[in-house]
Chain A
Amino acid sequence: MQIFFILGIPLLLGIAAILVKKERAFGIINAIGHLAVLSLSVVLFKDLILSGRTYSYFGFIYLDALGAFFIFVISVVSFAAALYSIGYIRDEVGEALISEKKAGLYYALFNLFCFSMFFVPAVNNLGMLWVAIEMTTLISAFLVGFHNTKDSVEAAWKYIIICSVGIIFALLGTILFSYAFSLSSGGMKSLNWSDMAASASGMDKNIMKTAFIFILVGYGTKAGLAPMHTWLPDAHSQAVAPISALLSGVLLKTAIYAILRFGIIVIKGAGFQYFGNLMILLGLVSLIISSGFVLVQKDLKRLLAYSSIEHVGIIAIGFGLGTPLAFAGALLHIFNHAVTKSMMFFGGGQIVSAYKTHNMNDIRGVIKSMPFVGIMTLLGVFALTGLPPFSIFISEIMIIIAAFVKGSYLVAALLLLLLAVIFGAFIYHFGNMFFGKLPKDMTVRTERLSGKLAFLFLFFQICAVGLLLPFIKKDLLWITQRLFHI
């Protein structure tokens, strides 16, 4: 039952945003609404994980533990982004960068965007899944081009065009899947995931394999897997900061969710090997390409965007390895990357708006000019590059161990090497920014309360997962088995 509220609240907030004129008051209402969504999604996830049940309403909404997990991740990041938006948007209105009316539009689009993302894991019909993911593109394109500058409009145009083309391939794959299904079931017409997964073993293997390539290219574009990632750095660097966090933290994950759904059908129908090899290949390509761009990057927000490609690559490798430990690591990495990268984008957004430049060479002495944001972002850098005791360390080490245990030494070695390269690059870039000499005209800035809360909320989760998880690893493997019905 909770799912209707999870879907309904953002929709209502979206409508209310246009009607309520005071952006200040609405920002707070918005955050409270998303807090409610977060608590509902926790209840839903706990319920589904413990009972192992699945919910299905009208044959249209289908929820199992995997879907509930993604809903939970989305709600965590959307709450943090709603919290952070209060201060961010107030600053923008205060500096007359946007009008009060446009702030209302921002909140409306923000909520519609959240609604469309919540819709993705809840829907059973694979055609509707496609429509939901395309809706996320269309809505967020406005948020990417929100400031209406030359760069942001260029980014939005590339985003909408590349993702729409990519996603058309996903529709092609979906059609081929439904063709394979109708061949195996004697002409029955259905696009429901639950039906397809049930009769996956009888479906034509060749068609299924070809269709999965299209799915991987299509949703892989949206997930930011290289070499289809070209829209991602533009869009993530030009979007409004809270939206960058949503794009990077959870939008990419909804596309991964779609790949997983089809992947489960392929695994059941055509064996694991095919799925695993493709995922590992794309994951490694993403890692290699992103590590190169991270090394030579000059733009702060693009650096973070390329790091997202890297982490999506790690997630893909985790799923590609396919042992329960690797699956658990990949799922955990989805959550860890979502919270850590959101925090980094909040920090990056603050830094960029204080220094009025994206160029890292012109940003110096962040720790002095913005003590709170500086320290949080510095901790975020350590968390993001995989230092213990933070959470990303745990999930990365799980995936690497899984690779060694499975005997994929080459994958493990490449993963370690590239992670080391990226670690070095990050420490170099951020070390200069944080500790360099403060420019003369910079004044010390303090963070608003709502912004601080958003940082602390995310940081708490990074630490909690990092510190507590090593003690409950057994439960985690059990949870993974529940999620994938292995």
Chain B
Amino acid sequence: MHVIMLFGVLLSSYLMVATKRISALIRTFRYQSLFLFMATFAVALKERQAELYAIAGLLLVIKVLAIPHFLYRIIKRIRPSEDLGLFINAQLSLACALSFTWLSWVFTSRLITPPGGTQGIMITVAFSVVLAGIFIMVSRMMALAQIIGLLVMENGLFLLASTVSGGMPFFVEIAIFFDVFVSVIIMGIFVYRINKLFTHIDVNKLSSLKG
């Protein structure tokens, strides 16, 4: 069961890397968060810890419901073009994402655990999701894609934290959720401002400050 969720998380990161449209990106991010929620919820059911239920609940409320809703609202308000503006085309992006997974596997098996085992797989998935997030950030021109890339990285870290150290202390986890939520809102505010001042949200064209 757990492995299926994990596979879902990985697969959705591939889909995000390959997609060309902003609404599809947000939708897939929502699926990824949903898989993450289900994985956490499954662990919570097994271990019967109140804290885990709370974390799963927060995941559902913030990352599955609130943040995608907020991002959709931005799109509705400012109506950017659907195109994400790919520096690297979809096929090549997907190839990159696959190679990231391989790299994470090498990294994990060399360094972290004795190779193999469920933990090794989970860490590999976590690292490749983080790398996919970075990739989305640097190879897409639209400002909203950068926000989502950041969130994808954060998802990967959440997975990593829950695998390697059994999750962070409860109040730290809460603080990080709060922090992520606030940072998305603030970045959203800046996207509005950029749109108002520049009449586009193409970060590739934000290049007046140099040297």
- B168–A157 CB distance below 8 A: no
Is the CB of A176 closer than 8 A to any CB of chain B?
A: yes
How many Å lie between the Cα of A125 and that of B164 in the bound state? 18
Query: In the bound complex, do residue B209 and residue A168 qualify as a contact, i.e. CB atoms below 8 Å apart?
Result: no
B50 at interface, CB cutoff 8 A = no
Given A150-B208, A296-B211, answer yes or no on A168-B168 (Cβ-Cβ < 8 Å): no
Q: Which of A129-149 contact B (CB under 8 A)?
A: 130-131, 134-135, 138, 141-142, 145, 148-149
Compute how far the CA of A157 lies from the CA of B146 in the bound complex, rounded to whole angstroms: 11
Using Cβ atoms and an 8 Å threshold, which residues of chain B touch A128?
171-172, 175
Residue among B157, B179, B197 making CB contact with A153, cutoff 8 Å: B197
A127 interface residue, CB < 8 Å from B?
yes
- In the assembled complex, the Cα of A234 lies from the Cα of B206 at a distance in Å of 12
Closest residue on chain A to residue B206 by CB atoms = A154
Q: How large is the interface on A (under 10, 10 to 19, 20 to 34, 35 or more residues)?
A: 35 or more
Pair B160/A189 contact, Cβ less than 8 Å: no
Q: B191: shortest Cβ distance to chain A, in Å? A: 8
Interface pair B183/A176, CB less than 8 Å apart:
no
Pick from B165, B171, B186, B206: contact of A138, CB under 8 Å: B186
B153 at the interface (CB under 8 A from A): yes
Known: A164-B150, A172-B130, A191-B168. A154 touches B183 (CB 8 A): no
Q: B190, A145: Cβ atoms under 8 Å?
A: yes
Mask, B181-204, CB within 8 Å of A = 1, is: 011001100100110011000010
- Asked if A297 contacts B211 (CB within 8 A), the reply is yes
- What string of 1s and 0s marks CB contacts (under 8 Å) between B142-169 and chain A? 0100100010011001001100111111
**Which of A157, A207, A297, A302 is B190 in contact with, Cβ under 8 Å?**
A157
B194 in contact with A210 (CB, 8 Å): no
B interface residue count range (under 10 / 10 to 19 / 20 to 34 / 35 or more): 35 or more
A298 to B211, CA, bound (A): 9
Q: Is the CB of B194 within 8 A of A153?
A: yes
Is the CB–CB distance between A164 and B194 below 8 Å?
A: no
Of A134, A176, A182, the residue contacting B166 (CB under 8 A) is A182
Q: Is A206 part of the contact surface with B, judged by Cβ < 8 Å? A: yes
B55 in contact (CB, < 8 A): no
* Known contacts A135-B179, A153-B197, A172-B157, A158 near B206 by CB under 8 Å: yes
How near does chain B come to A342, taking the closest CB pair, in angstroms?
A: 23
Tell me whether B42 is interfacial, beta carbon within 8 Å: no
Q: CB-CB contacts of A105-130 with B at 8 A, as 1s and 0s?
A: 00000000000000000000101101
**Complex CA distance for A175 and B163, rounded to whole angstroms:** 10
Does the CB pair B143–A189 fall under 8 Å?
no
Tell me if B4 is interfacial: C-beta within 8 Å of chain A.
no
Q: Is B176's CB within 8 Å of the partner chain A?
A: yes
Q: Would you give the 0/1 interface string for A177-207, flagging 1 where the beta carbon is closer than 8 Å to chain B?
A: 0110110000101110000000000000011
Q: Using known A-B contacts A151-B209, A171-B157, A182-B166, determine if residue A164 contacts B112 with beta carbons closer than 8 Å.
A: no
Cβ B165 vs Cβ A157 within 8 A: no
Contact at A206–B175, with CB atoms within 8 Å?
no
The 22 listed contacts between A and B (C-beta, < 8 Å) are A125-B172, A127-B176, A128-B175, A130-B176, A138-B182, A142-B186, A153-B197, A154-B209, A161-B187, A164-B183, A168-B130, A168-B154, A168-B157, A178-B161, A179-B112, A182-B165, A182-B166, A189-B165, A189-B168, A189-B169, A207-B111, A297-B211
Nearest 6 A/B pairs, CB to CB: A127-B172, A179-B164, A131-B175, A178-B165, A234-B209, A154-B206
**Supplied contacts A138-B182, A175-B160, 14 more A-B pairs, CB within 8 Å:** A128-B175, A131-B179, A145-B190, A157-B190, A160-B183, A172-B130, A175-B161, A179-B112, A179-B165, A182-B165, A187-B166, A189-B169, A233-B209, A298-B211
